[in-house]
Chains A and B, each alone.
Chain A
Amino acid sequence: MANVLVFAETRGTALRKTALEAVTAARAFADATGGGEVHALVAGPSGVGAAASQLGQYGADVVLVAENPALEKFDRESIAATVAARAQSGNYRAIMLGFSAQGRDVGPRVAAKLDLPIVTDVTDIQASGDAIVVKHPGYANKVIATLQISGPSAVIAIRPSAVTAAPSAKAGKVETISLAAEPSASKVVVKEVIEGGKGKIDLGEAPVIVSGGRGLKAPENFKLVEDLAAAFGNAAVGATRAVTDDGWRPHSDQIGQTGRQVSPQLYVAVGISGAIQHLAGMRSSKTIVAINKDKEAPIFKVADYGIVGDVMEILPALTAAVKEAKAHH
């Protein structure tokens, strides 16, 4: 029987989607290894406990809540210390978390503090005898490594959206814990959080991504991409490296092997030729649509549905058609 500790990520008093995914993965792992308990640790500002209690619905037997007003902003050092202290006091087969901006900070710190092996950005977790075996896409998603982790415990950071959060009701008993280190003692201090725009959906979390490339010809034509994204309603806007290098869009919007790697339900590539660099960031999308004037463009080799033609004409028509389809739903 194997208990699993999850660091359930929050921003402000709200749980992040990656927290539900990590608890779902932990539940599945605990069930597959004899039905151990899942303990989810939440650390945030006053009021975070209210949101944390819903982790029981996703399979947490116990929800450990540390509330501290200083955690209005993410404090990597006190959180890592708290996760490590909890991991040390319990007998956990694994410590799981999302491989997000926060997870990238917290995971390796916890592993180093406890001298545990760590794997990150994993898409699948299995128990295999005494070992844990995970799938880890490397080489910008062009190679899938199957990694074996030895030892009694390990830190496992899960790729966002690789696991679908699924309900599996457990008690979700809330216990209050205190932070193992004072946030005031932390050396790295968040001075400012710059919000990316109200209601903006993150590329890693969006079920639909509409992405633009050089074929849009000018930065102002991204308006057409934004309009289509708005018509879908649940879409984020991405871009190719050529476009972010030229300053048409911020670097954080770049999809590709040096940018974000995404796998949405639907990826719409607009005016994108499909360089290997770009394909590496989106080829695992479930459905790919490509619109490009060059019928020989490599993007059409991976597109489930391709339309050859002028994006400036096709996009407004598609936006109108999507709006209409949504209206009749």
Chain B
Amino acid sequence: MKIAVCIKRTPDSESRFKIAASQTAIDEAGLKFDIDDFASYAVEVALQLNEKQGPGETVVYAVGPDPVQETLRKAMSMGADRAVQLKTDATPYDGMAVAKALAAELKSGGYDLVLFGKHAFDTSGGIVGTATAELLGIPCVTAATKLEIANGRGTARRELEGAAETVEFPLPAAVTIDEGIARPRYPSLKGIMAAKKKPLETKPAQLGAARVTVKSMDLPPERPAGRIIGEGVAAVPELVRLLQTEAKVL
């Protein structure tokens, strides 16, 4: 199968974040960036599908400035065949603008399947996959926790609030990938060496005008300092009293 995977470069999610002097972005100094967790699951799903189903091609796409090339190489070191950077000056916050750039590029790609992460850690929007699919006019399944492809059709499982559903759809299609579907592989040394020679193409992104812009960024309010009320079973009556009289949740 010919599979496109749209990935994103995001900072290490375990980081402590500071706001940049501009007040409209995070301070990137000292942060480690890598392929977004959900995007890495999507790459793994694509690689496994092509490994299982015989000859195919996995192409990775990223929208963003030049540092995304490192992330595209990472995906190629995992096993993707080639990469395309849709170049922008900064990482856009407007999900619909990103979807337009991706759709313009993917339109003529002849892909059977286009995969995305469920959302990216930084913008946490969950917009790009579904909007890209709609712009391409292909069916889309969001937040899949299982995906099988056979005979030109896909079956996926999605978690709902307090339930789950199984859906079927014809290819070509887009699927956004949730956690739990596959553990992303670590690139092997051989994979890392091979990735250096794989093709990485750079083109300008056709974003269009940004209609969603960041006005400001702030850290969330700190919680009051924690309080230990006691030890062992003896502290239970005091906890219940506080839940009733102070927190008023019981």
Contact = CB atoms under 8 A, between A and B. Distances in A.
Specify whether A and B are partners: yes
Interface string A282-309: 0110111110000100011111111111
Contacts of A118: 95-96, 127, 131, 212
Interface in B90-139: 93-96, 99, 121-131, 134-135, 139
Contacts of A136: 124-125
B2 interface: no
B162 A325 contact: no
A304 B124 CA distance: 28
B50 interface: no
B29 interface: no
B214 interface: yes
A111 B163 contact: no
Contacts of A115: 96
B142 A147 contact: no
B193 interface: no
Contacts of B226: 290, 299-304, 306
Interface stretch (B70-78, B198-206, B232-240): B232-240
A305 B242 contact: yes
Contacts, number: 277
B213 A314 contact: no
A192 B161 CA distance: 15
A28 B126 CA distance: 25
Contacts of B45: none
Given A140-B121, A142-B220, A146-B217, A121 B231 contact: no
A203 B131 CA distance: 27
A190 B233 contact: no
Contacts of A283: 220, 223
A73 B247 CA distance: 40
Contact of B37 (A137, A258, A299): A258
Contact of A308 (B124, B217, B231): B231
Contacts of A218: none
Interface string A164-207: 00000000000000000000000111111111110011111101
Contacts of A73: 165
B157 to A, nearest CB: 8
A76 B140 CA distance: 9
A137 B134 contact: no
A140 B180 contact: no
A256 B122 CA distance: 15
A307 B238 CA distance: 10
A295 B246 CA distance: 23
B127 A306 contact: no
A127 to B, nearest CB: 14
Contacts of A277: 13-14
Contact of A109 (B122, B134, B212): B134
Interface string B218-250: 111001111111111101110110111001011
A276 interface: yes
Given A305-B243, A318-B239, A325-B250, A190 B96 contact: no
A321 B228 contact: no
B148 interface: no
B28 to A, nearest CB: 12
B215 interface: yes
A266 B249 contact: yes
Interface in B139-171: 139-143, 145, 155, 158-170
B166 A108 contact: no
Contacts of B167: 188-191
B34 interface: no
25 contacts: A101-B160, A101-B161, A102-B160, A121-B124, A136-B125, A137-B220, A139-B26, A145-B216, A145-B217, A146-B215, A188-B139, A188-B141, A189-B167, A193-B160, A194-B166, A232-B250, A276-B14, A287-B247, A303-B228, A307-B232, A307-B236, A317-B233, A318-B236, A318-B239, A326-B250
Interface of A: 16, 73-74, 77, 80, 99-102, 104-105, 107-109, 111-113, 115-121, 133, 136-151, 154, 160, 187-197, 200-205, 207-208, 232, 244, 251-252, 254, 257-259, 265-266, 276-277, 280, 283-284, 286-290, 295, 299-310, 313-314, 317-318, 321-322, 325-326
